[in-house]
């Protein structure tokens, strides 16, 4: 290799490092440095206002006995277990419906994807008003249709509040997962379906024995993204339920937020963030391991 | 080699960040622009105010409007990173917390030098004072009272010139209005909104001789007959279905919207509602009366924002010049009073009231209003899942008053005495 195709006289490895330098900078500044700072803060009694003091692992020890932390973790798990299958099934079915190029498929693909481009906070606010008992669309519609006599209280109990949020998130995020599924489906060689058709394999059998097995990696990716996103849920609960009623819908990130900004305990909130990160790392690793492809 | 490379990359990233921060700060100083943060509820006042200032002064003010619920979060993170604004208009209730945490500049001398110092809103000045030092002055004012729908009063056969003077009359009127049917309800309140309820529910307690916190905010007085009675009053109206079902889960969205539907007889609200009703709902004929106690009397929450100079402000003298201008006669009359905002000076009531008896009620309520002093107001009162809101939820909509009050007293005490 001559000096001409070796910029600045760097070795091959040096060029490689140079090329990944921008990404390294971004990861360093926006992930590694904040992560190190979070760990450092978690070892302190760090108020939102005022000076901090080093307390070692005290925040972590307190966390073990913090009922609110474990309750919110349990609630977030419950939310994840409901919203993930809902998203997964809805997006898979939609992807199956729009996967073949046709007159209307582009229109429907766009229509299903449209909610994804709205910010989660905006979507949450929109749905707060749709659910509003005084001026909301849903209650008015049900009353017009004589399904109910008086406005529906969508956020009356913990369960109805949770399901209302799940409904909104499914509407908001299905389009994104649908695109992932579509990419996975389009990556399956067409020859397989052609051969199956010649052999007289039914569409249901094609789905079961060709589509689903060959989309394992796509499923793994969609599930990982969905589970991580669900465990990090904040906006939808902050805006739609405010954690209520009676603390019934406080997600783990919402509890971290409250610890930091309502109770002004930034150090303690940092400790919870570190633990959540470890939990997510563990879960993602496990998920990817279980859904790993055999053709390595 | 690898170690050297990573050290170099990190140093480069840090240097880039430092340079970015430096250039931003240098830019602000060069242009002589003062940064001014307000919460969204003050945007309607602050926007024309800043425009007027910028049109007549060399030093310009750059206004940033922050959503109400995120204000303390944003200021807290700004404080941690040393990027605070030059001027801050903050909910008066948070001033004790910020002052005690050393976040605000001491402006005692400047405040006392104002010719109208003694006319400044007493509630604002009370909360702005720590150890006889002032850390803020009033910026905007908001009182609470009861607004009632005269049209529904007439339909229900209630004398529109005899608004309720005690809880018994509120309940009696609410029953008669609810009896009209057609979706009409006698009373409304936002049951899941801690801030709304300290504003409109606590005055019922105060007017009956009770309180929520001690004067210095260091102990709770929740477990008292007055608090129990007030909760019982709301519970009776709820169980008698005099209140729309949506009240239970309303975190403030329908705080005044419910009254705008024209199907609610009475609701506790603030002076802002008078302006909105006049402008956007001329079809609703409404009256205004003070929030009463169990057997009479009256009380109001004295709310609004205080304006302060954060400790990290880079232009304290110019910031004070702007603050003093905001408090001047011409600004208080032209920008505040004539636009329907209560002036923060008690000597300027006439310009605000302008012959409207409803505004007189709002102005008097402000002059005699009170606000609890607490460095943990957010945790105790505003938090949707905090002890104040949980108490109202359980007492009014849940199992009953006694258990809820006992639990709240314990939780209040625990929070107040906690180290942080």
Distance CA(A246)–CA(B404), nearest Å, equals 12
Instruction: Give me the percent of chain B exceeding a pLDDT of 70.
Output: 92
CB A138 within 8 Å of CB A130: yes
Average pLDDT over residues A108-136: 91
Predicted confidence at residue A48, as pLDDT, reads 87
Which of A28, A135, A244 has the CB atom closest to B13's CB atom? Answer: A28
- Per-residue confidence at B14, pLDDT binned at 50, 70, 90? very low
3-state SS record for chain A: CCCCCCHHHCCHHHHHHHHHHHHHHHHHHHHHHHHHHHHHHHCEECECCCCCEECCCHHHHHHHCCHHHHHHHHHHHHHHHHHHHHHHHHHHHHHHHHCCCCCCHHHHHHHHHHHHHCCHHHHHHHHHHHHCCCCCHHHHHHHHCCCCCCCCCCCCCHHHHHHHHHHHHHHHHHHHHHHHHHHHHHCCCHHHHHHHHHCCCCHHHHHHHHHHHHCHHHHHHHHHHHHHHHHCCCHHHHHHCCCCCCCCCCCHHHHHHHHHHHCCEHHHHHHHHHHHHHHHHHHHHHHHHHCCCCCC
A261 and B192: CB-CB below 8 Å? no
pLDDT tens per residue, range B42-95: 898 899 999 999 999 989 999 999 998 889 889 988 988 888 999 999 999 999
What's the complex ipTM? 0.75
Which is more confident, B354 or A117? A117
Chain B CB contacts of A25 under 8 Å are 9, 12-13, 16
pLDDT tens per residue, range A130-157: 998 878 899 889 999 999 888 888 888 8
B244 and A133: CB-CB below 8 Å? yes
Mutate to test the interface with A, among B77, B253, B391, B399 (most CBs of A within 10 A): B253
A117 min Cα distance to partner chain B (Å): 22
* pLDDT tops 70 at residue B16: no
- Interfacial residues of B (vs A; Cβ cutoff 8 Å): 5-6, 9-10, 12-13, 16-17, 72-73, 76, 79-80, 97-98, 101-103, 192, 244-246, 248-249, 251, 253-254, 257-258, 261, 378-379, 382-386, 390, 393-394, 398, 420
A108 min Cα distance to partner chain B (Å): 34
Mutate to test the interface with B, among A21, A46, A66, A244 (most CBs of B within 10 A): A244
The pLDDT mean for chain B works out to: 89
Per this entry, what is the length of chain A? 296
CB contact A242 to B (< 8 Å):
yes
* pLDDT tops 60 at residue A109: yes
Average pLDDT over residues B105-117: 96
B343 min Cα distance to partner chain A (Å): 30
Predicted confidence at residue B94, as pLDDT, reads 93
Average pLDDT over residues A77-96: 95
Task: Tell me which chain B residue has its CA closest to the CA of residue A258.
Answer: B383
Average pLDDT over residues B268-291: 94
Residue B58 has which token pair? 């060399």
CB contact A153 to B (< 8 Å):
yes
Chain A CB contacts of B72 under 8 Å are 48, 261
Average pLDDT over residues A97-120: 89
* pLDDT tops 80 at residue A292: no
A129 min Cα distance to partner chain B (Å): 9
B9 and A49: CB-CB below 8 Å? no
Mutate to test the interface with B, among A45, A261, A267, A271 (most CBs of B within 10 A): A261
A28 min Cα distance to partner chain B (Å): 7
* pLDDT tops 50 at residue B101: yes
Average pLDDT over residues B130-140: 95
CB contact A22 to B (< 8 Å):
no
B15 min Cα distance to partner chain A (Å): 11
Predicted confidence at residue B69, as pLDDT, reads 82
Quick one: B155 exposed, middle or buried, by C-beta within 10 A (0-12, 13-18, 19+)?
middle
Q: Which residues pair with B65 in a beta bridge?
A: B38
| Residue B256, SS3 per DSSP | coil
CB contacts < 8 A, A to B, total 99
A246 and B383: CB-CB below 8 Å? no
B385 and A242: CB-CB below 8 Å? yes
- C-alpha triplet B54, B55, B57: angle, nearest 5°: 60
- Per-residue confidence at A5, pLDDT binned at 50, 70, 90? low
pLDDT tens per residue, range A258-286: 999 888 899 999 999 999 999 999 988 88
Predicted confidence at residue B419, as pLDDT, reads 56
* pLDDT tops 50 at residue B17: no
- The β-bridge relationship of strands B87-91 and B264-270 is unpaired
Predicted confidence at residue A6, as pLDDT, reads 65
């Amino acid at each position: 290799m001559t000096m001409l195709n070796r910029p600045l006289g760097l070795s091959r490895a040096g060029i490689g490092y140079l090329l990944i330098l921008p990404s390294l900078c971004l990861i360093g500044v926006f992930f590694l440095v904040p992560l190190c700072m979070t760990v450092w803060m978690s070892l302190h009694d760090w108020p939102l206002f005022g000076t901090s003091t080093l307390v070692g692992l005290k925040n972590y020890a307190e966390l073990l006995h913090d009922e609110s932390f474990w309750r919110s973790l349990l609630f977030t798990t419950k939310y994840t277990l409901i919203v993930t299958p809902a998203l997964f099934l809805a997006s898979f079915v939609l992807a199956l419906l729009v996967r073949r190029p046709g007159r209307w498929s582009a229109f429907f693909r766009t229509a299903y994807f449209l909610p994804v481009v709205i910010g989660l906070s905006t979507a949450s606010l929109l749905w707060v008003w749709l659910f509003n008992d005084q001026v909301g669309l849903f209650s008015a519609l049900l009353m017009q249709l004589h399904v109910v006599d008086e406005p529906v209280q969508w956020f009356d109990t913990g369960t109805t509040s949770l399901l209302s949020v799940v409904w909104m998130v499914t509407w908001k995020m299905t389009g994104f997962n649908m695109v992932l599924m579509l990419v996975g489906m389009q990556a399956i060689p067409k020859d397989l379906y052609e051969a199956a058709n010649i052999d007289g394999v039914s569409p249901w059998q094609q789905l079961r024995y060709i589509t689903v097995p060959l989309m394992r990696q796509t499923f793994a990716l969609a599930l990982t993204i969905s589970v991580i996103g669900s465990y990090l849920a904040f906006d939808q609960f902050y805006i739609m339920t405010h954690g209520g009623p009676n603390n019934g819908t406080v997600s783990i990130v919402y509890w971290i937020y409250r610890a930091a900004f309502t109770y002004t305990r930034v150090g303690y909130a940092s400790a919870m963030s570190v633990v959540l990160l470890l939990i997510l790392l563990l879960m993602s690793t496990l998920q990817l391991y279980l859904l790993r492809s055999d053709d390595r | 080699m690898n170690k050297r490379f990573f050290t170099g990359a990190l140093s480069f990233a840090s240097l880039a960040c430092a340079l970015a921060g430096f250039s931003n700060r240098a830019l602000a100083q060069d242009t002589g622009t003062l940064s001014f943060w307000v919460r969204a509820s003050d945007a309607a006042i602050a926007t024309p105010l800043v425009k007027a200032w910028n049109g007549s002064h060399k030093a310009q003010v750059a206004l940033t409007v922050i959503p109400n619920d995120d204000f303390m979060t944003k200021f807290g993170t700004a404080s941690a990173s040393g990027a605070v604004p030059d001027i801050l208009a903050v909910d008066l209730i948070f001033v004790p917390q910020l002052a005690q945490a050393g976040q605000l500049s001491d402006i005692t001398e400047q405040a006392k030098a104002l010719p109208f110092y003694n006319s400044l809103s007493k509630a604002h000045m009370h909360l702005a004072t720590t150890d006889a030092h002032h850390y803020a002055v009033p910026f905007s004012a908001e009182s609470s009272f009861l607004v009632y729908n005269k049209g529904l009063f007439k339909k229900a056969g209630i004398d529109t010139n005899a608004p309720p003077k005690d809880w018994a009359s509120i309940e009696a009127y609410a029953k008669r209005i609810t009896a009209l049917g057609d979706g009409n309800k006698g009373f409304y309140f936002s049951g899941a909104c801690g801030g709304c309820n300290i504003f409109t529910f606590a005055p019922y307690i105060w007017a009956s001789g009770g309180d929520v916190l001690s004067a210095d905010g260091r102990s709770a007085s929740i477990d008292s007959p007055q608090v129990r009675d007030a909760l019982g009053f709301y519970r009776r109206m709820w169980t008698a279905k005099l209140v729309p079902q949506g009240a239970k889960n309303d975190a403030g969205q329908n705080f005044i919207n419910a009254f705008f539907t024209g199907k609610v007889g009475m609701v506790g609200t603030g002076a802002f509602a008078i302006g909105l009703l006049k402008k956007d709902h001329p079809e609703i004929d409404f009256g205004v009366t003070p929030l009463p106690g169990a057997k009479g009397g009256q009380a109001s929450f004295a709310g609004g924002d205080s304006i302060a100079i954060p400790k990290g402000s880079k232009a304290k003298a110019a910031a004070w010049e702007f603050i003093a201008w905001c408090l001047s006669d011409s600004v208080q009359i032209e920008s505040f009073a004539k636009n329907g905002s209560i002036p923060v000076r008690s000597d300027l009531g006439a310009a605000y009231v302008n012959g409207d008896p409803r505004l007189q009620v709002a102005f008097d309520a402000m002059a005699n209003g009170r606000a609890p002093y607490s460095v943990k107001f957010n945790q105790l009162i505003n938090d949707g899942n905090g002890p104040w809101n949980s108490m109202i939820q359980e007492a009014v909509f849940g199992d009953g008053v006694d258990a809820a009050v006992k639990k709240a007293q314990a939780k209040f005490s625990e929070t107040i005495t906690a180290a942080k």
